[in-house]
């Protein structure tokens, strides 16, 4: 490691002034003996490298941010709990690192993401699946939408109430008849 100020080999000619452990890794404050300047280094444990085998046969290192970015695009403007997409990526990454293989097909990663998105939010799922599965026609996408609509294990969409419940509690039940006198236009 070279000193960022004078360029001398700081690993042999340096003093560690302070060390702090954080969630991101180790922060060390160092002082170069040659120029007497202080600088900070950040050290992280390097996880095992998992190579992703792409559809065209190329291999590239797994990139957590790339997967998270694609999930964020699919879930844009969806009412998901904070940190839910990060938890999905963390789970996928943990499963990948737990395998003894150093390579994994991109389709496996995609299927893991699709499975979790389907449980999390059907709209985000269909957005991600439309790109991942590369639906070639509207009919293929409609077939998938029908499968989702008929799946009882998926949460139903929440419908926002058009009107608040009246003071006497007459409109507490979903589907209860709405009385016009309870919901007059404001400002007459």
pLDDT one-digit tens code per residue, 96-139: 887 777 899 998 999 899 889 988 998 898 888 887 777 777 88
Exposure on the CB side of residue 182, measured as CA atoms within 13 A: 15
150-161: pLDDT as tens digits: 776 655 444 444
55: pLDDT confidence band, cut at 50, 70 and 90? confident
Mean pLDDT of 64-92: 92
pLDDT value, residue 142: 84
How far is residue 44's CA from residue 84's CA, in Å, rounded to a whole number?
24
Neighbours of 3 (CB within 10 A): 20
pLDDT value, residue 152: 61
> What is the chain's mean pLDDT, rounded?
78
89-108: pLDDT as tens digits: 999 988 888 777 789 999 89
Q: Return all residues near 89 (Cβ < 8 A) that are at least 6 apart.
A: 64, 67, 68, 71
Mean pLDDT of 32-40: 89
Q: Is the pLDDT of residue 187 over 60?
A: no
More confident residue, 117 or 173: 117
Beta strands in 65-146 (DSSP E): 103-105
How far is residue 88's CA from residue 72's CA, in Å, rounded to a whole number?
11
Contact present, 74 and 80 (Cβ < 8 Å): no
180: pLDDT confidence band, cut at 50, 70 and 90? very low
Helix or strand (DSSP H, E) at 18: strand 14-22
């Amino acid at each position: 490691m070279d000193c960022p100020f004078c360029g001398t080999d700081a690993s042999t000619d340096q003093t560690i002034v302070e060390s702090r452990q954080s969630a991101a890794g180790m922060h060390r404050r160092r002082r170069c003996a040659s120029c007497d300047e202080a600088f900070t280094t950040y050290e992280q444990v390097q996880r095992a490298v998992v190579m992703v085998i792409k559809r065209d046969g190329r291999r590239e290192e797994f990139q957590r941010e790339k997967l998270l970015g694609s999930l964020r695009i699919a879930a844009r403007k969806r009412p998901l709990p904070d940190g839910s997409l990060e938890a999905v990526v963390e789970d996928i990454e943990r499963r990948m690192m737990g395998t003894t293989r150093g390579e994994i097909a991109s389709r496996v990663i995609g299927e893991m993401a699709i499975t979790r998105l389907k449980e999390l939010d059907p709209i985000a799922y269909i957005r991600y699946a439309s790109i991942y599965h590369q639906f070639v026609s509207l009919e293929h996408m409609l077939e998938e939408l029908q499968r989702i609509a008929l799946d009882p294990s998926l949460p139903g969409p929440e419908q926002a109430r058009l009107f608040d419940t009246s003071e006497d509690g007459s409109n507490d039940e979903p589907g209860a008849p709405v009385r016009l006198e309870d919901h007059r236009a404001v400002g007459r």
